[in-house]
Amino acid sequence: MRDKQVEKLIKAEEKRQNEGLELIPSENYVSEDVLKANGSVFTNKYSEGYPGRRYYGGQDFTDALERLAIERVCKLFKCKFANVQPHSGAPANLAVYFALLNPGDVVLGMDLSHGGHLTHGHPMTLPAKIYKFVTYKMKNPDTGEIDYEDLRKQALEYKPKIILAGFSAYSRTLDYKKFVEIAREVGAITMADMAHIAGIIAGGALRNPFDDGFDIITSTTHKTLRGPRGGIILTRENEEIAKKIDKAIFPGIQGGPHMHTIAAKAVAFGEVMTPKYKKYVKQILKNSKAMEKVLHKNNIRMIGGGTDNHLILADVFGSLGVTGKEAQIVLDEVGITLNMNSIAGDTRKPLDPSGIRFGTPAITTRGFKEKECAYVAELMIKTLKNKDDKKIKESIHKEIKKLAKKFPIPKRFV
């Protein structure tokens, strides 16, 4: 690379990733094939419109590429329609709202403090300034059970146009059938934001909302799908909804699609179709349970009481007297990357909350099994209990580097 300043930063980040352990549950590693596609000559091409209906010439290969990505993702999620153009998860959600709602219409989604996402109604976001969001919560943060009685009560009261299932920091299993039953009772469309667990669903280790009658799934294509940073919108069978979504993406909120990213999405979808990937997502869940067991043993409170998926949300302030921000910083010092996170009922501020959020997708990609994940959990707790002891932290950092060297980031997945 001729730009030495940028090259230096790229190499430094590569070194950081190789020598440390990535536990942020929304992050993962991609294969060399995905990286190659994402950096391909498709980045040179404008392709406004859809296959067979473009506004510029020279679209033979872009059309074939986008059709391939659509065909693969529809097969993975057992649906009839897909839009693979969203630039990421937030634009995908915004496009669904734009396609199906009028200003002031109601969306019923999960409360941010109970595990939902910013795009599910946080007052600072654009959707919340256009539509009315009402929220449901967990019945008991120590078990993670959703308060479906209250969800139904709110649906009957507010008559939402969309009932949204999905999360950013929720570790238990949603009862999709209950969502569908309540939505049908009030005439609402069901939408599942599966950005975090889409890969685990596609790999067959978690239930597909479409199997229970959901209308729409949105997702990112990174996280557990192990693809490039991007988004998708899937429609189970309603062609009218699918057409509205297409118009909402283009010309509604986006111009030309990023064809190089769609190329990388197609590659990632192909990798997800392999038997090796099915083993991978099953191991993600086993590894999460191994970490959960260590936290239980050490009396670390977990929101939801544990995990059914790839992530854990732990109350480190209540359990260890360490704030989420302190935990994030001190664990970074020993080579473990995760994120501070608010918890249900948190009395602390969002930029220094009570909790931390971590998960197993990236370390599972590196080949970690239950034994290694349990050891990492033990090292995390040891670090937090000795956050001011420089010698102990140096010793733990050496252990983390040894683990990282033993399990290098793979270049190929298939």
Predicted confidence at residue 101, as pLDDT, reads: 98
In a domain, 277, yes or no: no
Contact 138, 169 (CB under 8 A): no
Q: Assess whether 221 carries a catalytic annotation.
A: no
**Residue of 48, 63, 333, 399 marked active site:** 48
Q: Assess whether 46 carries a catalytic annotation.
A: yes
In a domain, 99, yes or no: yes
In a domain, 24, yes or no: no
What digits encode the pLDDT tens for the residues 370-393? 999 999 999 999 999 999 999 999
88 and 125 together in one domain: yes
Ordered DSSP codes for 253-308: I-SS--HHHHHHHHHHHHHHTSHHHHHHHHHHHHHHHHHHHHHHHTT--BTTSS-S
What digits encode the pLDDT tens for the residues 51-83? 999 999 999 999 999 999 999 999 999 999 999
Question: Would you state the torsion angle of the CA atoms of residues 378, 384, 385, 387, taken in this order, to the nearest 10 degrees?
Answer: 130
Domain boundary among 272, 298, 322: 272
**Average pLDDT over every residue of 197-208:** 98
**Average pLDDT over every residue of 102-116:** 96
> What CATH number does residue 357 fall under?
3.90.1150.10
**Residue of 72, 137, 223, 236 marked active site:** 223
Give kind and range of the element (H or E) at residue 315.
Answer: strand 311-315
149 and 192 together in one domain: yes
Instruction: Indicate whether 353 pLDDT > 90.
Output: yes
Contact 339, 350 (CB under 8 A): no
Q: How far is CA 360 from the centre of its chain?
A: 12
pLDDT-derived band at 49 (thresholds 50, 70, 90) equals: very high
242 and 291 together in one domain: no
200 and 237 together in one domain: yes
Contact 349, 64 (CB under 8 A): no
Q: Assess whether 220 carries a catalytic annotation.
A: yes
Tally of domains in the chain: 2
**Average pLDDT over every residue of 242-254:** 98
Instruction: Indicate whether 414 pLDDT > 90.
Output: no
In a domain, 159, yes or no: yes
d(CA 111, CA 92): 19
Domain boundary among 217, 240, 272: 272
Cα dihedral sign for 351, 111, 196, 306?
positive
95 and 116 together in one domain: yes
In a domain, 22, yes or no: no
Q: Assess whether 157 carries a catalytic annotation.
A: no
In a domain, 152, yes or no: yes
Instruction: Indicate whether 14 pLDDT > 90.
Output: yes
Predicted confidence at residue 156, as pLDDT, reads: 98
Predicted confidence at residue 411, as pLDDT, reads: 95
pLDDT-derived band at 354 (thresholds 50, 70, 90) equals: very high
- Report the predicted TM-score, pTM, of the whole model to 2 decimal places: 0.97
118 known member of a binding site: yes
**Average pLDDT over every residue of 83-112:** 97
Q: Assess whether 193 carries a catalytic annotation.
A: yes
76 known member of a binding site: no
136 and 255 together in one domain: yes
212 and 117 together in one domain: yes
Predicted confidence at residue 24, as pLDDT, reads: 98
What digits encode the pLDDT tens for the residues 287-329? 999 999 999 999 999 999 999 999 999 999 999 999 999 999 9
In a domain, 327, yes or no: yes
| Average pLDDT score, the chain | 97
> What CATH number does residue 45 fall under?
3.40.640.10
Domain boundary among 272, 291, 325: 272
Gyration radius of the chain's alpha carbons: 21
- Residue tagged 């536990």 (tokens): 23
Report in angstroms the alpha-carbon separations of 229 from 38, 108, 199, 241, 347. 10, 27, 14, 25, 33
Q: Assess whether 332 carries a catalytic annotation.
A: no
Cβ-in-10-Å burial (0-12, 13-18, 19+) of 256 comes to middle
Predicted confidence at residue 387, as pLDDT, reads: 97
* Full residue range of the structural domain in which residue 248 is found: 32-272
**Average pLDDT over every residue of 337-350:** 96
117 known member of a binding site: yes
Helices 4-19 & 390-406 angle (0-180, nearest 10): 100
**Residue of 193, 246, 326, 372 marked active site:** 193
- Read off φ and ψ for residue 246, nearest 5 degrees: -55, -45
What digits encode the pLDDT tens for the residues 145-169? 999 999 999 999 999 999 999 999 9
Rounded to a whole number of angstroms, the distance between the first and last alpha carbons of the chain is: 29
**Residue of 220, 224, 360, 365 marked active site:** 220
256 and 309 together in one domain: no
256 known member of a binding site: no
Helices 324-333 & 390-406 angle (0-180, nearest 10): 70
Q: Reduce the DSSP state of residue 412 to 3 states and report it.
A: coil
225 and 310 together in one domain: no
Q: Which residues contact 206 (CB under 8 A, 6 or more apart)?
A: 173, 197, 200, 281, 285, 309
In a domain, 393, yes or no: yes
Predicted confidence at residue 2, as pLDDT, reads: 95
Predicted confidence at residue 381, as pLDDT, reads: 98
Give kind and range of the element (H or E) at residue 134.
Answer: strand 132-136
263 and 136 together in one domain: yes
35 known member of a binding site: no
203 and 302 together in one domain: no
